[in-house]
A and B are shown apart, each in its own frame.
Chain A
Amino acid sequence: MSVLMEREQTAASTGKGPKFAVVRFPGSNCDQDAFYVIKDVLEAQVDYVWHQETRLDGYDVIILPGGFSYGDYLRTGAVARFAPIMEAVRAHAERGRLVIGICNGFQILCEAGLLPGALVRNASCKFVCKYVTLRVENTTSPFTSAYKQGQILRIPTAHGEGCFVCDTATLQALESENRVLFRYVDAQGEANAEGNPNGSLANIAGIANATFNVMGMMPHPERASEKILGSADGRGVFESLVRAALAK
């Protein structure tokens, strides 16, 4: 562990409020952005946790950050899903505690079976690196309570394999249980082909599990949590998590 990381951990652990863990896999590259938002923007507690660790005791929220864990070898998230820390992530989720996967984190959660479906290569075959427009579909979840129903968000996305697919029964369950939390929309707020950056089924950008304590989304709210960075629309995800963790 580097001196810088040690100092960051010490400083963060003395803070107040809910305690977040950002899991680092080899190839994670949005871990620092997530850490920064939790520590400096929301002023909550946060630690990095290396993927070889096996315990996540004492954390309220686990973040699986974006990146290219294990070089995306075989399939995105396929190898990371067997990292030692993932048993602790599963146990945390099974206890009803909060887990959020962003981009590669979403892919890992699907591979691990903690979320249904899978993320495959974008229909366009292009790496999509741009701001997208999202519509908040359900504000009763611990991940979206800071938003208004139907609120339109501008959040960056950066992925090559973000096309969400699942079977018909799974899609029906996701829709009927209001587990689609975010949908890609066009400038008018309509979920159509024009607003869909990657060919995702039903324009799905983010979903929750059946018990609403595990969530995955392809766009990057941690890159849009301060106006100076171009958008603060993603901040609501983390504010919602802080609120949910405090209420538990």
Chain B
Amino acid sequence: MPQVKVVVTLKPTLLDAQGRVVQNALHSMGYANVEQVRIGKYMELELAANGSGDPAALASEIKEMCDRLLANPVIENYQFEVVE
């Protein structure tokens, strides 16, 4: 039963307001060496057994899910990994 791990990150050109707040908090806690924090999203998808067993078809389906819903291509990048 394939499991898919998806990581969505804000495009590097965009200000990560949340990341900046967390970075400031780390600084105030004394971790002065933190130069940047970027916050993303991690999702795990459990899929039914891969019918055709074709990894390329599965990858293309997951890419479609990412492009349509899991990430917004206007502001985010994504990576995914399929774990059998």
Which residues of A line the B interface, CB within 8 A?
Answer: 74-75, 78-79, 82, 110-111, 116-118, 120-125, 163, 165-167, 199
Contact = CB atoms under 8 A, between A and B. Distances in A.
25 contacts: A74-B70, A75-B72, A78-B69, A78-B72, A110-B74, A111-B72, A116-B74, A118-B74, A118-B75, A120-B10, A120-B14, A120-B17, A121-B17, A122-B17, A123-B15, A124-B17, A125-B17, A125-B18, A125-B20, A125-B21, A163-B17, A165-B14, A167-B74, A199-B15, A199-B17
The SS class assigned to the A binding surface is loop
Contact of A120 (B20, B70, B75): B75
Contacts of A166: 74
Contacts, number: 37
Contacts of A79: 69
Contacts of B18: 121, 125
A123 B14 contact: no
Interface string B54-84: 0000000000000001101011000000000
What are the 6 closest A-B residue pairs judged by CB atoms, nearest first?
A118-B74, A125-B17, A118-B75, A121-B17, A125-B21, A123-B17
Interface of B: 10, 14-15, 17-18, 20-21, 41, 69-70, 72, 74-75
A199 to B, nearest CB: 7
Nearest to A79: B69
A121 B72 CA distance: 14
A120 to B, nearest CB: 6
A200 to B, nearest CB: 12
Nearest to A77: B72
B22 to A, nearest CB: 10
Contacts of A118: 72, 74-75
Contacts of B41: 74
A117 B74 contact: yes
Contacts of A123: 15, 17
- Between A79, A118, A120, the greatest number of chain B beta carbons within 10 A of the residue's beta carbon is seen for A120
Nearest to B69: A78
Contacts of B70: 74
Nearest to A125: B17
Contacts of B20: 125
Given A74-B70, A82-B69, A165 B75 contact: yes
Nearest to A170: B74
Contacts of A116: 74
A163 to B, nearest CB: 8
A193 to B, nearest CB: 13
Contacts of A82: 69
Nearest to B70: A74
Nearest to A113: B74
Given A125-B17, A163-B17, 9 more contacts: A78-B69, A116-B74, A117-B74, A120-B14, A121-B17, A124-B17, A167-B74, A199-B15, A199-B17
Nearest to A111: B72
A125 B74 CA distance: 20
Nearest to B16: A121
